[in-house]
Amino acid sequence: MPSPLADPVKLPCGLVLPNRLSKAAMAELIAKTNRPTSTLLDAYEKWSDGGWGSILTGNIQVDVNHMGSPYDPALHSEYKDRETNSALVAEWKKYADACQKHGTPAIAQVCHPGRQSFRVAGRRGLFAPTLAPSAVPMDVGDSYLERLIGCLAWTAPKEMTTQEVERVIQQFVDTARLMADAGFSGIELHAAHGYLLDKPPHRRLRRHPEKRARFVLEILTQTRKVVPSTFAIGIKLNSADHSSATFEETMTQIKLLADAGIDFMEISGGSYEDPRMMGYAKADAAPVSARTAAREAFFLEFAKEVRTRHPGLILMLTGGFRTRAGAEAAIRDNACDLVGIGRPAAIDPKFALRLLDEGVEEMHAGMPLNKVPVPWFARFLPVHLIGAGAETTYYSMQIQRLAKGIATIAPSL
């Protein structure tokens, strides 16, 4: 029987993805000038020939002063139009063309890190504050060492003014217009992992899901006005535990986004404070159920609940997929329409072809991956921070290797 992974998926905007496997967004740490570099393009050209149904880029920051990492590509100034900024469009067109060289639609993930912008990331200065909906600092733990790490890594955020909110909205819209003019097939708004578009940290705002969603909805509405109707606009959201106090509030936000006509929604999870998207969590975090643990997907239960409430919403589920069987199970269980695959794609850019090839036996249609080893001194440091950081660094190094044509190395099994 043909694999459901090979089925095409049509988004509401009309964009057709040739199959259900998406190369998920990963930190490349390659753009040392904060612009698309030749090494970055070389990596995406490899993925473009990998049989993926869609390619999601790593973070493209909307403000070069507030970066998720020092080596993300970013918008450096206000974008006017393709005539005024023709050189800029040509620069980013090389990126879009590399991603789509072999016909795979590419989605640019656009982002503002908010309070999670590291001191050394961005051009605002080491001591300048980060931006956030409220002045709540990063909280990576209660121990003296964890508090010290937090102070060294991040400055305290300042509560955004109305003018700053409006400027950030315009930066997202400008970035979306640039991506459309450069030839990308769509954008994904990164509203997960604790970044600026994720849920505000202030308790007062948590009681009003409509207000929490307004920021994203305004970006969505304004962007729709300035990009082609066939240009996809998706969003990445964090999952929420059924038992959490914010579960129904999260579902309210999802309904608002679905009603606004989002083209697809990617379910992920975690933040720098609780990095579940990397397979790590704080010691006091609630465990996943035995049923979810038995599956590969990290956020399966939440995705199935969203599917039940919004059967027409195109869902992408990302995090933990390693085998054809696991990906097919998520599709056949009706948990999602698209399967996002990250770390295996960094080791083998043609991993999608392996899963789609019916001639590959089931036992070989996958890639088991161990946790990345950490230095001996890491035993004295917070495991949820050091482990997640080691994973990000390790796989970004593999992306750099594949870009240079050097054999990648999977973590030892």
User: Over the stretch 355-394, which tens digit does the pLDDT of each residue have?
Assistant: 999 999 999 999 999 888 776 666 656 555 555 678 888 9
pLDDT for the residue numbered 353: 97
CA 81/CA 78 separation, integer angstroms = 10
pLDDT band with cut points at 50, 70 and 90 for residue 271: very low
- Chain-wide mean pLDDT for the chain? 87
pLDDT for the residue numbered 54: 98
CA dist list (Å): 150 to 142, 155, 159, 270, 294: 10, 8, 18, 17, 34
Domain boundaries, the chain: 4-403
Whether the per-residue pLDDT at 72 is higher than 80: the answer is yes
CA 345/CA 395 separation, integer angstroms = 10
pLDDT for the residue numbered 91: 97
pLDDT for the residue numbered 379: 60
For the entire predicted model, the pTM comes to 0.89
Instruction: List the single range of 78-92, 204-218, 311-325, 361-375 with lowest mean pLDDT.
Output: 204-218
- The pLDDT of 227-247, averaged and rounded, is 87
Q: Classify domain 4-403 by CATH architecture.
A: Alpha-Beta Barrel (3.20)
3-state secondary structure of 104: coil
Question: Cβ atoms within 10 A of the Cβ of 351, count?
Answer: 24
Whether the per-residue pLDDT at 307 is higher than 60: the answer is yes
Find out whether 325 and 365 touch, Cβ atoms under 8 Å.
Answer: yes
